């Protein structure tokens, strides 16, 4: 019989196969205990039926995660990575998923978090989310152990990341809101930046200017853009800033990935109005 730490090591290689881990955990109570750190290391929170289950990661609805954390508090120590999957049914997300996550997020000790619309070609504006959810999200990421944040969200204030001292990887959609000129905001550990659907539109200028003064230490840059002028005009100065440190460059010169963004904004606005009635 192998010692328990050997089993734990073996199970850690199955972190991307929740189905196998669940099956193994049912074979013996000791296995169940040994598997917990791997099984709960990455959890997907969603608001959809199980039909979309892919089996790679444990998928829970907010109430299920809340119950799990209440019944088994030690799971908080295992949960390191969280993906919050939003749907196109924004009104439903606001009412159920975001409300449910508002109480959970501040309790977590995550290293990675992702906020995404995996099944729809959209991103959302930060201001469109309920205030309570935004507050909880910022509380969740404001830790020294948060290392990676990936957002299908535009126009998020960079000040939201002010207390992410250990942030290493950041993914943003379209653009973000830099701090006022008088404010200072640095990410000393930031190694990798990904900019999705970067179009350098009217509101992107301040964010671009901010990057030109804060991206000098990047080791990895990923750029997704449908526009030739972004490649031609905006990318070179950004690369010049980080030319000494850059080791890894990904360029996706493709058509827009989030092309119905403007429609999303309308949907979100309407759903907000509905709630406020």
Partner 1 sequence: MFDPEPIEVKLPSLPNLERLRLCTYTSSFKCPQNSDNNLIRYALFTIAKILQDLSSLKHLTLIICLEFTGKDITQVDWSPLSNFLSDRRSSFQHTDLHVRVYAVKAGGEVPSDQVISMLSRCENLTSLVESGHVSIKKEKFVDVHLKWFFGVYY
Residues that bind partner 1 (CB under 8 A): 52, 118-119, 121, 196, 224, 228, 231-232, 235-236, 239-240, 243-255, 257
Nearer to partner 1, 107 or 120 (CB): 120
Nearer to partner 1 (CB atom), residue 244 or residue 277: 244
Cα four-point dihedral sign 9, 74, 115, 213: negative
**Secondary structure letter of residue 219 according to DSSP:** S
Q: What is the nearest approach in angstroms of partner 1 to the Cβ of residue 38? A: 22
Which residues touch 243 (CB under 8 Å, ≥6 apart)? none
- Using CA atoms, how far apart are residues 163 and 176, in angstroms rounded to an integer? 17
Residues 6+ apart with CB under 8 A from 10: none
CA distance 223 to 239: 11
Tokens of 241: 């800033």
Q: How buried is residue 43: exposed, middle or buried, by Cβ count under 10 Å (0-12/13-18/19+)? A: buried
Q: Which is nearer to partner 1, 251 or 270 (CB)?
A: 251
Minimal distance in Å, beta carbon 6 to partner 1?
Answer: 31
Instruction: Considering the complex, state which of residue 23 and residue 248 has its C-beta at the smaller distance from partner 1.
Output: 248
When the beta carbons of 10 and 260 are compared against partner 1, the nearer one is 260
**Least separation in angstroms between CB 251 and partner 1:** 5
DSSP 146: -
- Least Cβ distance, residue 257 to partner 1 (angstroms): 4
Distances (CA, A) of 179 to 206, 233, 255: 9, 24, 30
- Smallest distance, partner 1 to C-beta of residue 116, A: 8
Contacts with 253 (C-beta within 8 Å, 6 or more apart), sequence order: 225, 226, 228, 231
**With respect to partner 1, which residue has the nearer C-beta, 6 or 251?**
251
Q: Least distance in Å: CB of 207 to partner 1?
A: 20
């Amino acid at each position: 019989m192998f010692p328990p730490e050997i089993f734990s090591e073996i199970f850690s290689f199955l972190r991307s196969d929740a189905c196998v881990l669940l099956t193994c955990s049912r074979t013996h109570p000791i296995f169940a205990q040994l598997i917990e750190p791997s099984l709960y290391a990455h959890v997907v929170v969603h608001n959809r039926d199980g039909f979309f289950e892919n089996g790679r990661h444990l998928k829970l609805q907010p109430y299920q995660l809340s119950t799990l954390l209440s019944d088994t508090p030690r799971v908080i120590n295992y949960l390191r990575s969280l993906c919050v999957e939003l749907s196109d049914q924004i009104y439903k997300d606001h009412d159920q998923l975001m409300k449910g996550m508002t109480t959970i997020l501040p309790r977590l000790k995550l290293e990675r978090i992702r906020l995404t619309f995996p099944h729809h070609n959209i991103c959302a504006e930060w201001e469109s989310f309920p205030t309570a959810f935004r507050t909880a999200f910022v509380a969740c990421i404001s830790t020294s152990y948060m290392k990676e944040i990936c957002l299908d969200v535009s126009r998020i204030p960079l000040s939201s990341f002010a207390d992410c001292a250990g942030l290493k990887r950041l993914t943003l959609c379209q653009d973000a809101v830099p701090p006022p000129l008088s404010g200072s905001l640095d990410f000393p550990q930031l190694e990798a930046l990904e900019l999705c659907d970067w179009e350098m539109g009217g509101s992107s200028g301040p964010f671009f200017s901010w990057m030109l003064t804060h991206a000098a230490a990047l080791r990895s840059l990923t750029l997704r853009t449908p526009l030739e002028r972004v490649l031609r005009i905006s990318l070179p100065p950004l690369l010049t800033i980080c030319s000494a440190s850059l080791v890894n460059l990904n360029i996706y010169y493709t058509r827009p990935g989030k092309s119905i963004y403007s429609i999303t904004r309308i949907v979100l606005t309407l759903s907000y109005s509905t709630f406020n009635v």
